[in-house]
Amino acid sequence: MNLGVTFNPCMVAVPLYIIAFVGYIVNYNNKINIEEGKQEFISKDFIRIVIFSIISLILVINSRITYGIILGLVYLVLTTIKIIQDVDNHIRKLILIWGTIGIFGFIFLIMLLMGPHYRLDRLIASFNPEIDPNGSGYIGMLQKEILENANLIGEANTEVISSDKYLVIEESNYTFIYLLGKAGVLIAGILVLTIVLTSLKMILNSKIVKDKYGKFLIIGLSTLYIIQSVVSVLMNINLGIKTDVNLPFVTYGGIYFIVNILGVAIILSVYRRKDITLYDDINIEKQV
């Protein structure tokens, strides 16, 4: 029996990969070389983290390149925070990590410039839809029309909103611009303010939690929410690249909404136990 429910596995895989990655970097825990009495720069745990990161990123990118990039950014944020918390060699490690990312980014840019022209045209049209209004810039032109005719409160004076024959509808990735055109700039502004306040609350919650795993878990899932929200909002107002990223808790979608709810449930569950510290962590701190 066909229930008419479809979803991309990477929507479920991304938060699960983040949870697993947090476990790896927390267990890494400044591994000490007992024989030499000093911190190892490259250990077996470090190699495991690198291998896991590469494999998970490849699997997600093969499904959706956008979510692969988002997952990579979450990994980068978690790794940077973990390195900063380390006392020794954190500058050298940060240079190594960010330098490697910069090299890969430069290679990707060269490949984009040397690749098929339609990819570069689509990228430029995301910010300047006028260069191809009937092709890559079609959605951007619809968004621009909504923005130019939007009211402070109430429906915009444009057929793009009043008619259902266009692609800017509530069931698409363009829910935010649809809401702006349907309800007005004020309501859209309140939504943006809600996203900002929610993001700040998540960040503050991570500082309160004492358990290391719980702290990094909140940081990872919060970063995922923040990146998705920022990318989606910017894309909807022609200030970001057109992607298939949905706006969390706003875009219509069954499995996507459930995954976001579960992510927030995990954050709240960890925050509820913010004052709990593992006995092993206490012993380690005393020994140090």
Q: What is the pLDDT of residues 76-122, one digit of tens each?
A: 999 888 888 775 667 777 777 788 778 877 887 777 667 666 667 77
Q: What does residue 188 show for φ and ψ, rounded to 5 degrees?
A: -65, -40
Query: What's the confidence (pLDDT) of residue 251?
Result: 75
Query: What's the confidence (pLDDT) of residue 190?
Result: 93
Structure tokens at 221: 């899932």
- The CA distance from 20 to 16, in Å, is 6
Helix (H) or strand (E) holding 38, with range, is: strand 38-39
Q: What is the DSSP letter of 167?
A: S
- Residue 126 scores a pLDDT above 80: no
Q: How many other β-carbons are positioned within 10 Å of the β-carbon of residue 12? A: 15
Q: pTM for this structure?
A: 0.80
* Helix, strand or coil, per DSSP, at residue 173: coil
- Alpha-carbon distance values, 194 to 97, 206, 216, 226 (Å): 33, 19, 23, 12
Q: What does the pLDDT average to over 268-272?
A: 82
Query: What's the confidence (pLDDT) of residue 276?
Result: 63
Which is higher by pLDDT, 43 or 154?
154
Q: What does the pLDDT average to over 60-76?
A: 86
Q: What does the pLDDT average to over 117-128?
A: 73
Q: Which of 8-12, 61-65, 154-158, 189-193 has the highest mean pLDDT?
A: 189-193
Cα torsion for 168, 239, 190, 263, to the nearest 10°? Answer: 80
- The CA distance from 253 to 243, in Å, is 16
Structure tokens at 6: 């479809």
- Residue 205 scores a pLDDT above 80: yes
Residue indicated by tokens 């309140």: 190
What's the whole-number average pLDDT of the chain? 77
Which is higher by pLDDT, 190 or 252?
190
Which is higher by pLDDT, 47 or 169?
47
pLDDT above 70: percentage of residues in the chain: 77
- Residue 176 scores a pLDDT above 80: yes
- The CA distance from 171 to 253, in Å, is 7
Query: What's the confidence (pLDDT) of residue 101?
Result: 79
Q: What does the pLDDT average to over 161-179?
A: 70
Query: What's the confidence (pLDDT) of residue 60?
Result: 87
Q: Are 190 and 220 in contact (CB under 8 A)?
A: no
